[in-house]
Amino acid sequence: DAGITQSPRYKITETGRQVTLMCHQTWSHSYMFWYRQDLGHGLRLIYYSAAADITDKGEVPDGYVVSRSKTENFPLTLESATRSQTSVYFCASRQNTEAFFGQGTRLTVV
């Protein structure tokens, strides 16, 4: 089915481990985004991308790495997970105006 999917939906990891959150969209939208959502902060932009091999830092990029070798994929990597990175992570894609979101990944760092 067409859409945007995130995996895993739930993840528990230990402090210091590397973890990668996957995001895949089937529309070939140019723009893709990663947000994290925490109580009291709303959605905060981590990284975004205009096309394959073009990425930009958002509001809270520290501790995260992204890549976009293919238009349809935009993985987010936590290089060395910290408890402060416990959050709900949303991936989104956009072509014109409306943005479509994945169902989110609930990440807990213990």
Partner 1 sequence: RKEVEQDPGPFNVPEGATVAFNCTYSNSASQSFFWYRQDCRKEPKLLMSVYSSGNEDGRFTAQLNRASQYISLLIRDSKLSDSATYLCVVISFNDYKLSFGAGTTVTVRA
Q: Are 48 and 33 in contact (CB under 8 A)?
A: yes
- Any contact of residue 10 with partner 1 (CB under 8 A)? no
Does 53 help bind partner 1 (rule: CB under 8 A)? no
Taking the complex as a whole, the smallest distance from the CB of residue 42 to partner 1 amounts, in Å, to 3
Among 58, 61, 63, 75, binds partner 1 (CB under 8 A): 58
Q: Is 104 in the site for partner 1 (CB under 8 A)?
A: yes
Q: Compute φ and ψ for 34, nearest 5 degrees.
A: -120, 130
Measured between alpha carbons, how far is 19 from 56 in angstroms, rounded to an integer?
20
Compute the C-alpha angle 81/85/91, nearest 5°. 105
Does the footprint of partner 1 cover residue 89 (CB under 8 A)?
A: no
DSSP track, 50-87: EETTEEEE-SS-TTEEE--SSTTB--EEESS--GGG-E
Considering only 22, 52, 65, 88, the residue that binds partner 1 (CB under 8 A) is: 88
Contact status: 24 vs partner 1 (CB under 8 A):
no
- List of residues contacting partner 1 (CB under 8 A): 31, 33, 35, 37, 40-45, 48, 50, 56, 58, 88, 90, 92, 94, 97-99, 101-104
